[in-house]
Structure 1
Amino acid sequence: METLLAQHNFTLVIMACLVATVAAFTGLSLTRELAKKPVLQRKISISLAAIALGGGIWSMHFVAMLGLQLPILFYYDAALTLVSALTAILIVGVALVLLHFVERTPLVISSAGGIVGIGVLAMHYIGMAGLQQCRAIYTPFGLIVSSVVAIGLCVLAIWLAYGKRRIRNIYLGSLCFAVAVCSVHFLAMAGTSFVAVPSLAEFGLTMSNEVLAIGVIFSSFVLFGTFLWVGVTFLVPQDRVIEPQIQTPAPRPKAAPHDLQIPCERDGIKVFIAPEDVILMRADGHYTQVYTDRDRLFCVWPITQASKRLVPVGFLQTHRSYLVNSNKVLRFERAKDKGRCVFQKPDLPPAPVSRSKLKSIQDVLCPERGAIGAE
């Protein structure tokens, strides 16, 4: 049979690559710092991340397919098109469950990357199987190259994003994931030719390019909206640097009772932390985050309960959302009606001091300055 001349709309090719990049960043950002969150919150975040990544793979594929130009009218099987989206979401979800509910060893990271690569391939070829009135013919070279690239680049993307869980790694992993998805699609398409098939072999309802475009526009709108929502956490500027007014070692807190322990969770395992090992506690909804010299842990205490237990043993509530261990404060800084506590650990962000607590915190941490002010 005579093959059809296939061309691509360059603008839609660029849009497809942009969709893949946005989906990658959104999905990987949703999985950030999940180890310190409750199990239910982790499950919800992983589900949303799977929808963002799997839905992004699907959206990228069909944005690119909208740019496919053939000399005949062709349609899509609606059922197979939906199956391709669900397949991508479910397979990516399996990989994320491995990464966040199994010990993250090198084998687990590589396996998760390979699973994501298989998900990209499965979505592509199931989506292509939904073509109506034309049929895709694949070459062994195209199948092999697209498979190797999919698995190899997805393994690299997961290693970049999960080898170290830093913001820079999320950027690099997102870029590599987007490159993987786009490369797989266009390498596979380069090894694909099309022939006309006059009859319809329907598995479900038939969609035209116009109907498909509506679905793709809707999924892309949701994806970009989620991207903006997630991206706010990366765009919020840090507090401006406040010049220190005074620098003095803070007094040691009162001795804590030997039986006072702070219940925390580390990777789903309950641990107990002594108050003297805590640098600060920060409210996180109805729970708190506990910062030590080595870890950031999840604690089931709300900030109000933590305050009642720890203020009597020398902790300071600098803000309604912050408790600090005065023994760990390097210096107290104040600029007009703003203040903050800077800690001995250099990579720990300062704790803000609310306006209503400036005087009392300054009197405790800087008694010499408080005495001068009283005169």
Structure 2
Amino acid sequence: MDFLNVHHSGFLIVMSCVVALVAGFTGLSLTRDLSEKPMFQKKVSVALAAVALGGGIWAMHFVAMLGLQMPILFFYDAAITLVSALSAILIVGAALILMHFTARTPTIITLAGGIVGIGILVMHYIGMAGLEMCRAVYTPTGVIFSSIVAIGLCILAFWIAYGQRTNRNIVLGTFCFAIAVASVHFLAMAGTNFVAEPDVAEFGPSMSNETLALGVIFFSFVIFGACLWVSVTYLVAPRTAKSSANKAPEKSHHIPTTDVQVPCERDGTKVFVRSSDVLFVRADGHYTQVYTQDERLFCAWPVTEASKRLLPTGFLQTHRSYLVNPGRIARFERTKDKGRCIFDGTDMPPAPVSRSKLKAIQDALAAQASALRA
């Protein structure tokens, strides 16, 4: 079997990696703070993120393929090329649905990352099947190695990006995602040979490199445009957060005035509870328990995330594991060098106040009482 001599354009290799980075950043950024959004907006954001990530996988692959140079003229089957794009978008969409519409457990994060890795592999090999006038011949080493790298790096990307939904983690997750996409392509291509195959078995209409280039340019333009749109909110967010943090001490002595939608679960269904209806929040391992007047609900936020969201609205941290709504405290009791906050309702447990927090909590509650009297 005579293999064809193959070369690659260095410029298009670099551009394909840039496309992967931009797509990863756009997709992971679109899914920030979804717990605070209405269900319809949440569904739209997940759908757009799936298009950005899945479409980015496809665009990266074919930008690199546009740089593939062989001594023969070759084409692409348009139908198979379209199927490769849709496969990537649907598989990534399935992973994002798991992440945002089910309880985000370690198993779910790992499973979602693995699904995205499989999506990259499926897209690559379906896309390669669309070649006409030549045929790809794979080596077991290339297939196995690229598969391990794809799945492993995508799981790592999801653990980083979804471990804590900070801007820093999203950027780190973006790099892991881009490396995973690029690694699959170039590791697989390194273990791939090509042979001429004049007899074409067409599944759909043929498409030249020039036609493919137009499609890839258009899709890349859409992804880059979405990246610019996302970047505006991304860059503004830290300043807003900082501003809120600076104002937090001022607000902490008053009843919370700004409602935050707290994502909880009730009988396996996700519900949103207004922070003004929350009595207190208690850490429970990597998650939290949210107490309202009538029930206790599971929340996927860790206590660090709950603190970031609720303290600027006026909640008080009475203990490293407890966040308390001062407006719902019925009375405060001190026992030696500790204390506890009592709430209305005989079945409602008190929230402990640690020794290190005792003076700050007493001062905050005294200031609140004075403000109410005034």
Structure 1 residues 60 and 35: alpha-carbon distance in aligned structure 2, compared to 1, 3 A threshold: same
Aligned to 2:264: 266
Q: Which amino acid aligns with 2:142?
A: G
Structure 1 residues 75 and 295: alpha-carbon distance in aligned structure 2, compared to 1, 3 A threshold: same
Aligned to 2:64: 64
CA distance in 1, matches of 2:103, 2:204: 41
TM-score by length of 2: 0.69
Structure (1 or 2) with the greater helix fraction: 2
1:277, distance to aligned residue in structure 2 (A): 6.0
Structure 1 residues 139 and 38: alpha-carbon distance in aligned structure 2, compared to 1, 3 A threshold: same
CA distance in 2, matches of 1:186, 1:103: 35
Q: Which runs of 5+ in 2 are unaligned?
A: 281-304, 311-324, 328-369
CA distance in 2, matches of 1:192, 1:276: 58
SS in 2 for 1:195: strand
User: Structure 1, residues 117-148: CA drift from partner, whole Å, max 9, x if none?
Assistant: 00000000000000000000000101100111
CA distance in 2, matches of 1:231, 1:179: 21
* Structure 1 residues 246-285: aligned runs within 5 Å: 265-266=263-264, 268-271=270-273, 273-274=275-276
* Structure 1 residues 151-166: aligned runs within 5 Å: 151-166=151-166
CA distance in 1, matches of 2:80, 2:187: 22
User: Structure 1, residues 353-373: CA drift from partner, whole Å, max 9, x if none?
Assistant: xxxxxxxxxxx98xxxxxxxx
Aligned to 1:332: none
Q: Please tell me the root mean square deviation across aligned C-alpha atoms, in Å.
A: 3.3
CA distance in 1, matches of 2:235, 2:251: 34
Q: Which runs of 5+ in 1 are unaligned?
A: 279-291, 298-324, 328-363, 366-375
Structure 1 residues 248 and 49: alpha-carbon distance in aligned structure 2, compared to 1, 3 A threshold: closer
SS in 1 for 2:195: strand
1:37, distance to aligned residue in structure 2 (A): 1.2
Aligned to 2:139: 139
TM-score by length of 1: 0.69
Does 2:100 correspond to 1:97?
A: no
1:163, distance to aligned residue in structure 2 (A): 1.1
Structure 1 residues 269 and 193: alpha-carbon distance in aligned structure 2, compared to 1, 3 A threshold: same
User: Structure 1, residues 151-173: CA drift from partner, whole Å, max 9, x if none?
Assistant: 11111111111111111110000
Q: For this pair of structures, how many residues does the alignment match?
A: 283
User: Structure 1, residues 241-262: CA drift from partner, whole Å, max 9, x if none?
Assistant: 8xx9xx98998669x9xxxx99
Quick check: 2:95–2:116 contact (8 Å CA) kept in 1?
Answer: yes
CA distance in 2, matches of 1:253, 1:107: 39
Aligned to 1:172: 172
Does 2:188 correspond to 1:188?
A: yes
CA distance in 2, matches of 1:107, 1:293: 22
Percent identical among aligned pairs is 60
Q: Which amino acid aligns with 1:226?
A: A
Aligned to 1:81: 81
User: Structure 1, residues 38-71: CA drift from partner, whole Å, max 9, x if none?
Assistant: 1111111000000000000000000000000000
